[in-house]
């Protein structure tokens, strides 16, 4: 299936799309259980592990496809920026938590760091 997608979607774009899907699964695996604190921890860990397996199904191909178009440092940076973006939406929409100015400022600093990774000096 990935090979078919590569015929129609440029590798850098496919990399970002796969990382986005991967991070949605990762965010639910890591934080989705916070709404279900009544469940036993062992059960939550096993369920989260199953979700994390789906994350890897998208993460590994994304890195393999993207490496060569991006350096390993750039791939990690893309993944982290996507992670923060997905997390902000998740924490507000799913967990009902507010987004404060200091969160935005901190994420902005991380964004500046990401820009440095892609800068060509």
Question: Which residue ranges make up each domain of the chain?
Answer: 2-118
Question: Residue 20 — pLDDT band, cuts 50, 70, 90?
Answer: very high
Give the pLDDT score at 7.
Answer: 82
The mean pLDDT value for 51-80 works out to 95
Give the pLDDT score at 6.
Answer: 75
Report pLDDT digits (tens) over 80-111. Answer: 999 999 999 999 999 999 999 999 999 999 99
Give the pLDDT score at 53.
Answer: 93
Give the pLDDT score at 58.
Answer: 96
Nearest to 79 by CA among 109, 56, 106, 103: 56
């Amino acid at each position: 299936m990935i090979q078919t997608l590569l015929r129609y979607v440029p590798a850098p774009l496919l990399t970002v799309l796969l990382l986005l899907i991967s991070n949605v699964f990762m965010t639910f695996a890591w934080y989705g259980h916070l709404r279900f604190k009544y469940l036993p921890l062992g059960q939550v860990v096993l369920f989260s592990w199953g979700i994390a397996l789906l994350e890897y199904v998208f993460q590994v191909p994304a890195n393999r496809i993207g490496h060569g178009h991006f350096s390993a440092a750039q791939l990690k940076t893309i993944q982290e920026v996507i992670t923060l973006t997905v997390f902000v939406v998740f924490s507000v929409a799913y967990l009902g938590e507010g987004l404060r100015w200091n969160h935005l400022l901190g994420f902005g600093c991380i964004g500046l760091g990401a820009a440095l990774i892609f800068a060509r000096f």
